[in-house]
Amino acid sequence: MGPEADDVAANVALGETDVISDTKNAFKKAGVNVESLEELAKGKVDGVKRSNHVLLAKNLPYDATENELAKMFGKFGSLDKIILPSTKTLALVFFPFLMFMMCLCIFYLGGWPWVHLIA
């Protein structure tokens, strides 16, 4: 893989694979059950216990920082933690109470539930 390679599509696919792998590894190191997330993404929700305190934030700008996310989500109450891998493709935001999540959802989208709460 490299800029001089002829197959641009193959290079893009390899790059995306690296980003996905790096993101999964960062979540695993932080103690996240990545396999459970993958099952949810496939629509296999039977028997999967879901959290009502964790938000999956995605479509983040590459220059996003943990401090910026803390400011944005902290408007609705305290946060337990934020996991933002170096790939910055998505983050997990942990709230201590369901009420803070509900406030966030109502403020941004005018209703509850709008977001998949994850395990």
Residue 38 near residue 107, CB atoms below 8 Å: no
Residue 106's closest CA among 79, 85, 76? 76
Query: Looking at the predicted structure, is the pLDDT value of residue 113 above 50?
Result: no
pLDDT in tens, 3-59: 555 688 888 888 888 998 999 999 999 999 888 888 877 877 777 677 777 888 888
Per-residue pLDDT at 119: 39
Distance separating alpha carbons of residues 39 and 24, to the nearest angstrom: 14
Record: fold of 8-109: Alpha-Beta Plaits (3.30.70)
116 against 16, higher pLDDT: 16
For residue 111, which amino acid is it? G
What pLDDT does 110 receive? 54
Query: What's the rounded Cα separation, in Å, for the pair 52 and 106?
Result: 15
Higher pLDDT, 89 or 107: 89
Which comes out higher in pLDDT, residue 72 or 102?
72
State which H helix or E strand residue 15 sits in. Answer: helix 8-29
Which amino acid is located at 30 in the chain?
Answer: A
pLDDT at 103 over 60: yes
Query: Span 85-95, mean pLDDT?
Result: 90
Q: How high is the pLDDT of residue 84?
A: 95
- pLDDT, tens digit, 9 for 90 and up, residues 64-80: 899 998 988 887 778 89
**Other C-beta atoms lying within 10 Å of the C-beta of residue 42:** 8
Closest by CA position to 116, among listed 39, 38, 56, 43? 56
- For the record, the structure tokens of 38 come out as 């993958």
